[in-house]
Chains A and B, each alone.
Chain A
Amino acid sequence: MSLVKPDIETITQRPAWFAAWPIARTALHLVFRRKLFWVLFAVALFSFLLMFGAIYLLATLRQEYKWLEEFITSRLKDLDGSGTTFLNFMKAQGTVTMILLAFAGSVLAGNDHSRGGLIFYLSRRIKLVHYGTGKLLAIGLLPSLTTTLPALILFIEYGLLGDTGMYFGEKYPIIFGILGYGALLSVAVGLLLFALVSWMPRPVPLVMLWGGLFVFLPILSRILTLTMREPGVRRRHALEESPWRLLDFWNDLYIIGNKFFGVDKPLFIGATIVVCSVCVVSVIAIFVRLRQLQHQS
């Protein structure tokens, strides 16, 4: 005779999807405990602070030397408060974000595979998909801290230091651009890192591979673009239009990111295919590996 017990407890418990947050929080907590993370985060904040100071300086110039402020913003699109300002800022954060992720990857997810964390999670009332979501949330939040969040703060600063009502009234779509581009960065980079960490949990090989993808490939793409350009094609155009540029994953994300700010860039379709393919392959790689680890553990 089987004893069928009522599930009274489950009524007071939140659905299993909510378990993603404790998983993400634990992973982030482990990263935040490391000094190296704070050093890299400080480096990431450095360019944010420079930008913050530059916007403040422009606002001061606007009050006293308007011609000088107009001259600077006409020359430097990165400081005119348009979508390009925040888009380029987020792109510029790429290097430090990639270094940060390379070092944090093993702590965020890799250790679970070597320390039996997967058993710890999967013996609770959650499935692989909940575990994967929690880890992706943790990995995705890190690039948000160095790209999306600072960009939003700069946007608010720009508005508050200028003609607040008019700026926010006219430029509010920029918020959606920042959030959209930020979400794209978090999801695409998060999936790629999680896939690599799943197969390569140790930090040193991971840093080398990650470095290869985000340092070596961009350099290679530039070299190939410039050496194989047609005679007469200008360097700037070649760097924007050559298909070899698709080897630079961060640049592919930037090309798609422009769309969120209403700007059409060459190679958009190519970049979309590359990013979607990387995401799909990453998802497959993650679940194949997790299933494998589940059976091995």
Chain B
Amino acid sequence: MTLESPPTAESSSLVEVRHVSKWFGPLMALNDISLEIGPGITGLIGPNGAGKTTLLKLLTGQSKPTLGEIRICGHEAWLAKAKAHVGFCPYGDATWDELSGRRLVRVTAGLHGFTGDEAERRTESVLETVGMSDRADRPVRTYSKGMRQRIKLCQALIHDPDLLVLDEPLNGIDPVGREELNELFLRLARAGKAVLISSHILNEMDELADHILFVCRGKLLASGSLETIRDLLDDYPLKVHVSCESPRQIASPLMALESVKSVSVQPPEDLFLEVQNPNRFYAEFGEFATTHDIQLHRLKATDTSAEAVFDYLMERASRPE
């Protein structure tokens, strides 16, 4: 079963994937996947072998689906017209170490059909965007992992694509570099671009992604905002951490609330609740706190992170139907 958030009336997608399956001989890499990607940051999450790379290859037009169709800005994904709207930043260092960063970006401009002054202008512009202008004349072999990643980003951005596909862009990058790149991704998303980030660093997706796609064994397990997906997982009670001055006294009345499934007390001031219907709980708890005059220090759901949701989805997927 796929968990999907309901479509909104004003939703507009740059990418439409309709009933896509991909076979490699007897191996089914993707199984009837349908999804839409719109402006903003979308995280693609899944374990190794889930079909993430295959999906990225299909989205970037490197491969054709066996069944179904993929449209990018209205064009079929493997057509040059669609590729003109897509910028791809691959996982590996698909570059030549002995060339300078500037030259590599300039070559990419040529591959997209830009020549002369226009190619130069675009090269300098993207180097400026990723903060590599002053270091771009050095050979790529002298670059750090983060600098290489930035040059790959330049290559993906050179033709000002509407969809940016990034395969593990933060892998091996130091915390400062991560923060800078995350800021860049947010800036691109604010500029109206669709940024699809494939990552296994789930914590980062919490902060970055507006929308998450969970993929496992070639199937789309869930798609939507993290909160929406968590709410739809009604067979996994939400875990809520409450800190207040007198936890023992309120534990018993809390159990009377319909949405609360279990309460455990951890002195001196912590309570851990399992909640069945989050929206209803938050409404009931507000009223409860006012009525009982509770001095609340903290109220936080502990399993709404991408990691926790991912674990639940994986567990759910491994259950027999």
Residues of A at the B interface (CB closer than 8 Å) are: 1-5, 7, 9-10, 12-16, 18-19, 21-23, 25-26, 29-30, 33, 111, 115-117, 119-127, 294-295, 297
Q: Which of B43-51, B86-94, B223-231, B232-240 lies on the face that meets chain A?
A: B86-94
**B12 and A22: CB pair below 8 A?**
no
Residue of B nearest to A131 (CB): B111
Chosen A-B contacts, 5 in total, with CB atoms closer than 8 Å, are A1-B13, A2-B12, A2-B71, A22-B110, A124-B83
**B112 and A124: CB pair below 8 A?**
yes
**A3 and B62: CB pair below 8 A?**
no
Smallest beta-carbon distance A86→chain B, Å: 34
**A13 and B84: CB pair below 8 A?**
yes
For B, the interface residue count at a CB cutoff of 8 angstroms equals: 43
Residues from 118 to 160 in B contacting A, C-beta threshold 8 Å: 118, 155, 159-160
| Total CB contacts across the A-B interface at under 8 A | 112
**B62 and A125: CB pair below 8 A?**
no
Smallest beta-carbon distance A267→chain B, Å: 43
Q: Which of B73-81, B284-292, B313-321 lies on the face that meets chain A?
A: B73-81
Residue of A nearest to B162 (CB): A5
Name the contact of A295 in the complex, choosing from B14, B63, B73, B81 (C-beta under 8 A): B63
Of listed A10, A22, A29, A295, residue having the most chain B CB within 10 A: A22
Smallest beta-carbon distance A247→chain B, Å: 37
**B107 and A22: CB pair below 8 A?**
yes
Residue of B nearest to A116 (CB): B94
Name the contact of A7 in the complex, choosing from B11, B84, B94 (C-beta under 8 A): B84
Smallest beta-carbon distance B190→chain A, Å: 17
Name the prevailing secondary structure of the A interface residues: helix
The 4 A-B pairs at the shortest CB distance, nearest first, are namely: A22-B110, A13-B113, A4-B74, A116-B94
Q: Which of B95-103, B179-187, B262-270, B300-308 lies on the face that meets chain A?
A: B95-103
Give the distance in Å from the alpha carbon of A38 to the alpha carbon of B90 in the complex.
34
Chain B residues with CB below 8 A from A115, complex form? 92-96
Smallest beta-carbon distance B9→chain A, Å: 9
Smallest beta-carbon distance B149→chain A, Å: 14
B278 is an interface residue with CB less than 8 A from chain A: no
**B62 and A122: CB pair below 8 A?**
yes
Give the distance in Å from the alpha carbon of A190 to the alpha carbon of B12 in the complex.
48
Give the distance in Å from the alpha carbon of A21 to the alpha carbon of B14 in the complex.
31
Give the distance in Å from the alpha carbon of A152 to the alpha carbon of B124 in the complex.
40
Residues from 16 to 70 in B contacting A, C-beta threshold 8 Å: 16, 24, 38, 60-63
Given contacts A2-B74, A30-B96, contact A123 B113 (CB under 8 A): no
Residue of B nearest to A18 (CB): B113
Give the distance in Å from the alpha carbon of A19 to the alpha carbon of B112 in the complex.
7
Give the distance in Å from the alpha carbon of A122 to the alpha carbon of B63 in the complex.
10
Chain A residues with CB below 8 A from B85, complex form? 5
Name the contact of B60 in the complex, choosing from A2, A13, A123 (C-beta under 8 A): A123
Chain A residues with CB below 8 A from B16, complex form? 2
Residue of B nearest to A3 (CB): B12
**B113 and A295: CB pair below 8 A?**
no
Given contacts A123-B60, A125-B113, contact A29 B84 (CB under 8 A): no
Residue of B nearest to A27 (CB): B96
